[in-house]
Amino acid sequence: MKFTIHTYGCQMNVRDSEAVEALMLAAGHEKAAGEDDAEIVIVNSCTVRQKAEEKAVGKSGNLIAAGKITGMMGCAVKRMGADIFKRLPKLHFAVGPRAFGLIPKIVADGKYPVLELGEDAVPMGMDAHTETSWQSFVTVLLGCDNRCSYCIVPDVRGHEYSRPAREIIAEVSQLAKRGVKEVCLLGQSVLRYGVRNKAWDDYAGEAFPRLLRELSAIDGLERIRFTSAHPKGCTDELISVYRDCPKVCRHLHLPVQSGSDRILAEMGRRYTREEYLAAVKRLRDLDPEFSVTTDVIVGYPGETEEDFEDTRSLMQEASFDNSFIFKYSPRPGTRSAALLDDVPQEEKERRDQVLLADQEARGLMRNKRLVGTRREVLFEGPSKRKADRYSGRDGGNRIIVWDRPEDCSGDLRLGEKLTLEVIDAHPQILVGRPV
């Protein structure tokens, strides 16, 4: 049957959708040209904020009304459980984030409705990939055991589980053979890889740095990225990997959430402002151009103007290359949901705008420092904004655009490496020219 997948949420969902696509193709189904053309539509849902969940449920409702065989997968399914059929009585199937491997069988059986929550299972088809890209996500750590006060992820993605290192190494080797140049390793707190369960039977050292070293040895692979990280994992061992392994990109997404020690403690983040800044300093001492990006929540219950100003000043001190700002959204069953959501919506909006404006100015300042430097980029195709420009990314995950040559013969392949000199800077983008 012709199918398509509609994905909401984070990179982990993007990765899970890719696995489902590969499994469906292997089961003999065919990718539809678009939603209109599809007989089956699968909606991969997010529930990290209320709005995200509403979007996925709304979308599924529309698809059911359009007569499609409609399935939902992902985080909102796990949060809602059987209640999902109260919202969407005609939904055909719903599978949790650790049960997506069952989808081909559910479709083959055709006995709807089906609900599979999966709990702490390791999904079948974890290593299934489609053959379309030069970049690939690879999940290394499932679930999360941190239980930050505001976060629904541990409830929906289950307990932490590290996939065996040999499976990951085999998967990445296979991808590299197929022409994949860049992998991004995924986990909620990826530096906890190998902590709760062993990654190697016989190894007692820090598992994630070792994994990076082993993946670095794979021929053909150009770049290794990973996300998300926690400052506790920024150990000497990790820093030495950055120093020794040129394939490991000097970019770290290190969500800080708040710059106020009081709020950080309430969130249960297990670091102070000072410890966080020390981790950033370690990275920038190694390389002043090290790109550090973050997530911040504004309007956490009880967040005062002073707490907010602490966040602002931390962001300035950390000199983030980019940041993602989220307005606090209470999630049922989390610890903070019991607290009064007392920062008014307009105030959350204002704090959001202030941090965005700060980031624009800071991004510009950080990018301007790179004018005149040479960056190694992997080619990503025509620029999204202007089709007469090419676009690529450097190791720091910075987007660099350059004029498309008039003579396009002997053109670049996607994922091809080239060197550019930076000639101009904007807050989110660099302009370069090939050297």
Partner whose footprint covers residue 147, from ligand SAH, ligand SF4, none (CB < 5 to 8 Å by kind): ligand SF4
Bridge partners (DSSP) of residue 226 are 185
DSSP three-state, residue 116: strand
**Residue whose CB is less far from ligand SAH, 165 or 297:** 297
**Residue whose CB is less far from ligand SF4, 114 or 297:** 297
Nearest to 172 by CA among 162, 182, 164: 182
Site for ligand SF4 in 102-161 (CB under 6 A): 144, 146-148, 151, 153-154
**What letters, b where the CB count within 10 A reaches 16 and e where it falls short, cover 144-155?**
bebebbbbbbbb
**Residue whose CB is less far from ligand SAH, 13 or 70:** 13
Total of chain residues touching ligand SF4, rule CB under 6 A: 9
Applying CB under 6 A, which residues contact ligand SAH? 48-49, 150-151, 153, 188-189, 228, 255, 257, 295, 297, 326, 328-329, 331
Residue 402 contacts residue 430 (beta carbons within 8 Å) = no
Partner whose footprint covers residue 218, from ligand SAH, ligand SF4, none (CB < 5 to 8 Å by kind): none
**Residue whose CB is less far from ligand SAH, 49 or 181:** 49
Partner whose footprint covers residue 329, from ligand SF4, ligand SAH, none (CB < 5 to 8 Å by kind): ligand SAH
Residue 415 contacts residue 381 (beta carbons within 8 Å) = no
Cα separation, 33 vs 104, in Å, equals: 19
Bridge partners (DSSP) of residue 297 are 326
Cα separation, 367 vs 370, in Å, equals: 5
Per-residue x/- mask for ligand SF4, residues 69 to 108, rule CB under 6 A?
A: ----------------------------------------
Site for ligand SF4 in 181-240 (CB under 6 A): 188-189
Of the CA atoms within 13 Å of residue 131, those in its CB half-sphere come to 4
Q: Least distance in Å: CB of 1 to ligand SAH? A: 33
Q: Least distance in Å: CB of 171 to ligand SF4? A: 23
**Residue whose CB is less far from ligand SAH, 276 or 290:** 276
Provide the phi-psi class of 299: left if phi over 0, else alpha when psi is between -120 and 50, else beta: left
Q: Least distance in Å: CB of 188 to ligand SAH? A: 4
Q: Least distance in Å: CB of 364 to ligand SAH? A: 23
**Residue whose CB is less far from ligand SAH, 161 or 326:** 326
Question: Rg (Cα) of the chain, in Å, rounded?
Answer: 22
Q: Least distance in Å: CB of 412 to ligand SAH? A: 33
Q: How many residues does the chain have?
A: 435
Q: Least distance in Å: CB of 170 to ligand SAH? A: 26
**Residue whose CB is less far from ligand SAH, 222 or 266:** 266
**Residue whose CB is less far from ligand SAH, 323 or 383:** 323
Residue 113 contacts residue 146 (beta carbons within 8 Å) = no
Residue 133 contacts residue 180 (beta carbons within 8 Å) = yes
Q: Least distance in Å: CB of 216 to ligand SF4? A: 26
Helix axis angle, 305-318 relative to 345-368, nearest 10°? 20
Q: Least distance in Å: CB of 328 to ligand SAH? A: 5
Give 295-308 as a DSSP string: EEEES-TT--HHHH
Supply 426's token pair: 């904007």
Residue 361 contacts residue 322 (beta carbons within 8 Å) = no
Helix axis angle, 207-216 relative to 165-177, nearest 10°? 20
**Residue whose CB is less far from ligand SAH, 116 or 303:** 303
Q: Least distance in Å: CB of 254 to ligand SF4? A: 12
Cα separation, 253 vs 226, in Å, equals: 8
Partner whose footprint covers residue 3, from ligand SAH, ligand SF4, none (CB < 5 to 8 Å by kind): none
Element (H, E) at 208: helix 207-216
List interacting residues with ligand SF4 (CB under 6 A): 144, 146-148, 151, 153-154, 188-189
